[in-house]
Every structure is written in C-alpha cells, then in structure tokens.
Amino acid sequence: MADGIDLPAGRVIVSQDKGRTFRIAEVYQMDGTRKTTGKVKVFSDRVDNSLFYGFGDHSDFYVSRDGGLTFCERKLPDGFPCVDFGKIDCANKTEIRGETGKTGVFYLALAEYGLWKLMYDPGKGVDGCGEKVVVRRLSGRGDTVFCVGLGVGRPGGDYFTEDKALYVTGTIGGKYGFYRTLDEGGTFERLNTDRQQFGEINSVDGDCRIFGRFFLATGSNGILYGEPEEKSCS
C-alpha cells in the first residue's frame, strides 16, 4: 500500500494463508525500536519461503526470518552508499533484482554509485548463528547504472542453477548504452549502437531460456527486445 510514490514502512502487509487474512508486518530498527515512519521496499527470497528482505530510504536493510511477519534491521558493511530504495519501481533511478536459485543474493543498480551485489547468509539454526551480510561493487568508479536484470548465462544453460548474465543500462567507461557482463562486472559488452537509444528506459531484464535475448521497458516505445544477429555463412 503506497502513497503514490513512496512505500511506507508502516504499511507492509503480509498474508500467510494465501490471502484469506492479512496483517501489518512489524519492522524494527537497529536499536530495537519499531520503524513507523520512513519507507521500505520488500522482496521475497528466491529459495527460502521463510526469508523476506526490506530495503529502506537510507540504505537500511531489513531481514525477516518468519515469513514476513517481523523485519529486523541488519547493518550493511562500511562503504556502501546511502540510497533511497523506498519508492515504487521507476520512481527513482535504482533497481533491485533477486537472483533466482540462490538464497539472499541481490544485484543493485544504484545510479551514480554503479552496480553492486549484496549477499545475505542467514547462518545456521533458528538463531542464525554465523549470519552475515556482504556487499561488493561490480562496476568501475565513475560508472553509472540505472537498471539491472538477469538472464541465462550461456547457450543451453540452466537459469536456475548456473551463473547468470547481467544486463544493465547506464554509462560504462564513459559511454551510455545497454550492456551485458558474463563475469559479474569484470568486462562489459555494449549491446546497442549510438542510434539505438529508445528514449527513457525504465527497466531491463534478460531471458531465462534464450541466451543473449534481453528486454527493455521504455517510457514511450513500449516493450522492446534485443538478441544477437545471426551470422551469415557467406
């Protein structure tokens, strides 16, 4: 339930009986006080249905281990930039993508702060012994990344179990475009030309079955897709 653009932390709604009943989730800050103001955007884990995550308006990060009933703040490592995640999609130039087939893995497009990877390890047991959060910058200093999506990582690959291709929009090495990386930011391949811009790009995602195919959600040109050209044998 959002007020136009913002996603209020006090209105995170959860159902654990397939929508028959609902309740307001409880979100707690580092000092143990309940967060009733501010914003938070919620994501489910891609493997464990007891784990949910919240991303707040000052790079605050929350974890629920009880299926979304309660969220507790976890400290992100020093050096992670301060970003407002608590808005509806496309309202601010950031994007969060959870990785299918892995617990606690997210890729974050942080505009002028570039592309990052967040990895949450829930630890062992009910108390989460060994729980930790790791973040890593994948793009270079000065690179700008507005959108990020995931696709199958190789021809004939398995999207659910293998490493994925990352697709991003932004400025890499001083050149704006649509890019793919197969080595988590070690190298980027530009996929468009200077004539293929298509105006405002609100989101990007890769295909989970066909390697090289990706999709763009534009502001005025609808949904577009790109894929590798077939090479002539002549």
User: Based on the number of CB atoms within 10 Å of its own CB, is 20 exposed (0-12), middle (13-18) or buried (19 or more)?
Assistant: exposed
Whole-number Cα distances in Å, 198 to 59, 81, 83, 144: 31, 29, 27, 18
| pLDDT tier at 125, thresholds 50, 70, 90 | low
pLDDT, tens digit, 9 for 90 and up, residues 47-81: 999 999 999 999 999 999 999 999 999 999 999 99
Out of 9-18, 29-38, 73-82, 187-196, least confident range: 187-196
Longest dimension (CA), the chain: 69
| pLDDT tier at 116, thresholds 50, 70, 90 | very high
User: Based on the number of CB atoms within 10 Å of its own CB, is 204 exposed (0-12), middle (13-18) or buried (19 or more)?
Assistant: buried
- Contact between residue 56 and residue 62 where contact means Cβ atoms under 8 Å apart: yes
pLDDT, tens digit, 9 for 90 and up, residues 185-195: 999 999 988 88
Which range among 122-126, 140-144, 221-225 has the greatest average pLDDT? 140-144
pLDDT above 70 for 119: yes
- Contact between residue 134 and residue 112 where contact means Cβ atoms under 8 Å apart: no
Instruction: Give buried/exposed letters for 96-107 (b at 16+ CB in 10 A, else e).
Output: bbbbeebebbbb
- Contact between residue 210 and residue 227 where contact means Cβ atoms under 8 Å apart: yes
Give the SS3 label for residue 9: helix
Predicted pLDDT of residue 233:
57
pLDDT above 60 for 2: no
pLDDT, tens digit, 9 for 90 and up, residues 86-105: 998 877 778 999 999 999 99
Q: What is the DSSP string of 117-135?
A: EEEEE--BTTTTBT-EEEE
